[in-house]
């Protein structure tokens, strides 16, 4: 998924390679949050299973990109080493949440997710063309292909549940 402000425009224009990676990282965080929100408000198990699978990929992408940022930005790496111990210790419980199982919005959520996956492909392919590092290119190729797979997976769910046809799609 891509990140935008409430008016639909990107927050800024990334010119540094590390900021292009941060832009991707923001997109992955936005995707994780969006999918987790959808799962929390859906009791449609096959759609939730698809969303859970995609969330796993998005979290993997987050890790891949943050690792690259740490590699190419010494200040980011220093901040990482300063805070590496913060995750240690017992996990605290998460607040409780009462879901809203409104089946009417599920297809809208799926369509919004397809949109986000396609926006991610466009953004990541643009950055792929601009960032010169071979390890970044390799990571982006991998992520782009998974995002395309997510769009197709979600499209199949639309075809399963939407009673209206999509011009012959199967």
Boundaries of every domain in the chain: 17-91+99-161
The H-or-E segment that residue 117 falls in is helix 106-130
Residue 70: the pLDDT is 97
Please name the residue that has the structure tokens 């200040």.
Answer: 75
**Which positions ≥6 away from 62 have C-beta within 8 Å?**
25, 28, 29, 32
Instruction: Report whether 100 contacts 42 (CB < 8 A).
Output: no
Q: Domain 17-91+99-161: which topology?
A: Ferritin (1.20.1260)
First to last CA, the chain: 24
Residue 105: enclosing H or E segment and its boundaries?
Answer: none
Q: Residue 6 has what pLDDT?
A: 59
What is the tens place of the pLDDT at every residue in 114-131? 999 999 999 999 999 999
- For residues 116 and 31, the answer to whether their CB atoms sit within 8 Å is yes
Contact 32, 55 (CB under 8 A): yes
What pLDDT does residue 1 have?
38
Contact 143, 64 (CB under 8 A): yes
Q: Which residues of the chain, if any, have pLDDT below 70? A: 1-12
- Dump pLDDT digits (tens) for 21-38: 998 998 999 999 999 999
Query: Which pLDDT belongs to residue 69?
Result: 97
Identify the pLDDT of residue 76.
Answer: 96
């Amino acid at each position: 998924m891509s990140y935008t402000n409430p008016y639909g425009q990107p927050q800024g224009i990334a010119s540094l390679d590390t900021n292009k990676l941060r832009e991707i990282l923001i997109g992955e965080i936005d995707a994780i949050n969006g999918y987790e929100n959808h799962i929390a408000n859906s009791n449609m198990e096959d759609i939730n299973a698809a969303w859970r699978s995609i969330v796993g990929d998005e979290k993997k992408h987050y890790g891949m990109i943050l690792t690259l940022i740490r590699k190419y930005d010494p200040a980011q790496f220093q901040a990482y080493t300063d805070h590496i111990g913060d995750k240690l210790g017992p996990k605290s419980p998460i607040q409780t949440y009462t879901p809203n199982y409104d089946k009417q919005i599920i297809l809208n959520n799926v369509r919004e997710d397809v949109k986000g996956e396609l926006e991610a492909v466009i953004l990541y392919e643009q950055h792929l063309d601009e960032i010169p590092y071979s390890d970044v290119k390799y990571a982006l190729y991998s992520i782009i292909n998974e995002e395309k797979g997510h769009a197709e997976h979600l499209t199949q769910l639309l075809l399963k549940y939407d009673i209206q046809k999509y011009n012959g799609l199967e």
